[in-house]
């Protein structure tokens, strides 16, 4: 049901209710008073209430985002397995208010994540967004609350319900954190943002794969500072999302992230290329640390002085209003930029991922689609990775699923 149809329905119901109430018989002691007056409201009041409700629906949106599937996993050297699962289930609420609609709020919560409270920011881990944006001037806005890191790249900003398989880097970085951001809207197609946010939502021993390494002291101000530029060109067909971030992870342990994302979209096709480099004093992603075996005492280990390099490419083809297909691939490396014990600096792990997906939209609405997705993933030791004990990991996966955005209002 569209918004305009829903608004007309509300107005019709609002007009009908008092008329129906007035048609009811009245008692003898109140025969001179209409039914609507006894209840304290009139037909005019109800119609005004309906107009207010319609105005509310015009500027506020609520939806459930769902992706469910029948999934078959075929691990290398293992036995295939299949199951039904809900891959992604979120509810999203957003809207504007104020005399000039200068305030915007956004709330989104996942039903697939943990419902435990973050010990650092005192907010449920399952909450992605809980922020408000104030735009007092045409060219400036201020955002405060739980938000996503303002990193560049196209994959990073895609709605999770549409991303069947993330890259190693994009899928492992805890990117929803409390913070504040100021944005300079230079032109309708160019903006520059400066964000200050928590670098993590948990204390060190909960956040890092193996806890805080021995001899490393916790930071008193574990923040991530991000400068982000978003620009559109060629009538918005070409879009760029670039960013540079610096963060303090612990005493003497810092993190840098540089991201360049470019996309080009036409009516029948679209493509993007993301390039990412991250240099982390402590392994925040945990991809390299979790690939290495546990330490000599049997405990997990948080590797230090780690870097990540990622290249992610995507091509989407729209054959008809009902059929589309996309291809996605990534090539990623991780390693050490300083020696770790007997392990010299250099590359340690390499991975690649290839995806192909056929989509069918029976109602020609992209918010309701069936899909058949194939994913191939391989990770293996490279360079000095054998010294860390990194082993080869291969997996094939076939997924038959449904994506549905249920718009409530």
Helix (H, G, I), strand (E, B) or coil at 256: strand
Length of the chain as a residue count = 409
Averaged pLDDT score across all residues of the chain: 87
Amino acid 13: pLDDT = 40
Backbone angles phi, psi at 175, to 5 degrees: -105, -5
Amino acid 243: pLDDT = 97
Q: Kindly report the pTM of this predicted structure.
A: 0.85
Q: How far apart are CA 94 and CA 129, in angstroms?
A: 10
Q: Which of 2-6, 55-59, 108-112, 247-251 has the lowest mean pLDDT?
A: 2-6
Amino acid 85: pLDDT = 95
Please say if the pLDDT value at position 20 is more than 80.
no
| Alpha-helical regions (H) of 95-243 | 168-172, 204-207
Q: Which of 127, 237, 257, 107 is nearest to 195 (CA)?
A: 257
Q: Which residue has the higher pLDDT, 11 or 54?
A: 54
Q: How far apart are CA 304 and CA 306, in angstroms?
A: 6
Residue 279 CA to its chain's centroid (Å): 22
* Both tokens assigned to 376: 């191939």
Taking residues 119-142, what's their average pLDDT? 93
Amino acid 230: pLDDT = 97
| Alpha-helical regions (H) of 246-344 | 287-291
Please say if the pLDDT value at position 265 is more than 60.
yes
Amino acid 204: pLDDT = 85
Convert the pLDDT of each residue in 202-236 to its tens digit. Answer: 888 888 888 888 889 999 899 999 999 999 999 99
- Sorted by where each starts, the structural domains of the chain and their CATH numbers stand as 63-407 (2.40.160.10)
Contact, 161 vs 67, CB < 8 A?
yes
String of DSSP letters for 14-79 = HHHHHHHHHTS---GGGTTS-HHHHHT--HHHHHHHHHHHHHHHHHEEEEEEEEEEEEEEEETTS-
Q: What angle do CA 147, 150, 151 make, to 5 degrees?
A: 135
Convert the pLDDT of each residue in 337-379 to its tens digit. Answer: 999 888 999 999 999 999 999 999 999 998 999 999 999 999 9
Convert the pLDDT of each residue in 29-84 to its tens digit. Answer: 433 434 334 344 555 555 656 666 667 778 899 999 999 999 999 998 788 999 99
Convert the pLDDT of each residue in 138-170 to its tens digit. Answer: 999 999 999 999 999 999 889 999 999 999 999
Helix (H, G, I), strand (E, B) or coil at 347: strand
Contact, 347 vs 385, CB < 8 A?
yes
Amino acid 205: pLDDT = 84
């Amino acid at each position: 049901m569209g918004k305009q149809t829903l608004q007309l329905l509300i107005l019709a119901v609002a007009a009908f209710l008092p008329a129906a109430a007035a048609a009811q018989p009245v008692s003898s002691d109140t025969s001179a008073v209409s039914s609507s007056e006894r209840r304290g409201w009139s037909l005019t009041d109800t119609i005004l209430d309906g107009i207010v409700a319609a105005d509310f629906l015009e500027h506020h949106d609520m939806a459930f985002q769902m992706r469910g599937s029948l999934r078959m996993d075929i691990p290398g050297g293992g036995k295939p397995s299949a199951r039904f699962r809900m891959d992604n289930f979120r509810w999203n609420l957003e809207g504007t208010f104020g005399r000039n609609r200068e305030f915007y709020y956004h709330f989104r919560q996942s039903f697939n994540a943990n419902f435990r409270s973050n010990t650092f920011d005192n907010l449920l881990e399952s909450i992605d967004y809980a922020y408000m944006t104030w735009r007092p001037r045409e060219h400036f806005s201020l955002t405060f609350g739980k938000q996503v890191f303002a990193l560049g790249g196209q994959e990073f900003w895609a709605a999770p319900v549409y991303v069947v398989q993330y890259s190693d880097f994009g899928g492992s970085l805890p990117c929803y954190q409390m913070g504040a951001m100021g944005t300079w809207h230079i032109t309708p197609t160019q903006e520059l943002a400066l964000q200050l946010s928590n670098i993590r939502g948990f204390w060190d021993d909960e956040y890092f794969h193996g806890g805080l390494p021995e001899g490393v002291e916790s930071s008193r101000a574990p923040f991530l500072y991000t400068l982000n530029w978003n620009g559109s060109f060629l009538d918005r067909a070409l879009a760029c999302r670039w960013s540079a971030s610096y963060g303090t992870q612990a005493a003497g342990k810092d993190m840098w992230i540089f991201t360049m994302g470019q996309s080009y979209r036409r009516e029948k096709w679209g493509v993007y290329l993301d390039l990412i480099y991250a240099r982390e004093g402590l392994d925040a992603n945990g991809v390299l640390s979790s690939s290495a075996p546990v330490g000599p005492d049997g405990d997990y280990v948080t590797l230090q002085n780690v870097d990540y390099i990622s290249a992610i490419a995507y091509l989407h083809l729209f054959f008809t209003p009902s059929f589309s297909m996309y291809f996605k691939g990534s090539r990623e490396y991780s390693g050490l930029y300083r020696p770790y014990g007997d392990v010299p600096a250099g590359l340690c792990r390499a991975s690649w991922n290839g995806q192909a997906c056929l989509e069918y939209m029976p109602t020609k609405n992209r918010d309701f689609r069936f899909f058949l997705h194939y994913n191939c993933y391989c990770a293996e030791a490279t360079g000095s990775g054998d010294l860390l004990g990194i082993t080869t990991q291969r997996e094939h996966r076939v997924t038959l699923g449904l994506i549905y955005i249920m718009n409530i209002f």
